[in-house]
């Protein structure tokens, strides 16, 4: 009985169960490699991001970002931010080339509250999926777009242990 309070204290301090450090996607176990908090102007916390990557050495490994929201955002705000950031990262001409894919993503966005999560995974070979609180909401087949969309959060993951975040952190 004494173990229960110690376990709860460890959970509260962030030493959660092993499941928190892995993510299952498409039959693969991905390991948590990095975490960051996104902030606006360095002051306002927006969301936490967990970066997962498969352990196998591959030219194009499966990887995921799990975005855990710390604030409330409407679906329209999520869509607007996605379009703006995608165009900033890749240019207006590339955003225009992928306007149909971006519209499909905007169509499935739902408003988020603190604690809600979207997970975006790019599989080896380029297909991708967007999940809302663990439930698949959209499948993307275009490899180039799938990789570019991941760059909303991770601008480079050449070093799998330390990705280069594409957003301002706290």
Q: Report domain extents, the chain.
A: 32-165
- Which tens digits make up the pLDDT trace of 6-49? 222 223 333 333 336 999 888 888 999 999 999 988 779 999 99
Of 107, 145, 116, the residue nearest 128 (C-alpha): 145
DSSP at 73 = B
- Which tens digits make up the pLDDT trace of 2-16? 333 322 222 333 333
Per mean pLDDT, which range of 10-19, 51-60, 61-70, 119-128 is the poorest?
10-19
Q: What is the pLDDT, as a whole number, of residue 20?
A: 63
Question: Contact 65/153 with Cβ under 8 angstroms?
Answer: yes
Architecture of domain 32-165: 3-Layer(bba) Sandwich (3.50)
Extract the runs of DSSP E, i.e. beta strands, from 22-77. Answer: 22-25, 28-40, 44-54, 63-69
Q: What is the pTM of this model?
A: 0.83
pLDDT over 50 (residue 62): yes
* Tokens found for residue 34: 């990095």
- Which tens digits make up the pLDDT trace of 115-158? 999 999 998 776 899 999 999 999 988 778 998 999 999 998 88
Q: What is the pLDDT, as a whole number, of residue 9?
A: 27
């Amino acid at each position: 009985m004494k173990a229960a309070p110690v376990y709860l204290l460890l959970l509260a301090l962030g030493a959660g169960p092993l499941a928190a450090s892995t993510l299952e996607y498409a039959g693969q176990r991905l390991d948590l490699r990095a975490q960051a908090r996104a902030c606006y102007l360095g002051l306002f916390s927006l969301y936490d991001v967990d970066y997962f990557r498969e352990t196998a050495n591959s030219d194009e490994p499966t990887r995921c970002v799990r975005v855990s929201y710390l604030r409330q955002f409407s679906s329209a705000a999520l869509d607007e931010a996605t379009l703006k950031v995608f165009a900033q990262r890749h240019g207006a001409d590339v955003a225009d080339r992928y306007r149909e894919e971006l519209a499909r993503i905007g169509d499935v966005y739902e408003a988020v509250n603190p604690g809600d999560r979207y997970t975006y995974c790019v599989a080896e070979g380029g297909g991708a999926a967007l999940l809302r609180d663990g439930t698949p909401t959209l499948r993307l087949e275009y490899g180039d777009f799938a990789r570019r969309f991941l760059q909303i959060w991770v601008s480079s993951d050449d070093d799998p242990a330390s990705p280069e975040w594409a957003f301002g952190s706290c």
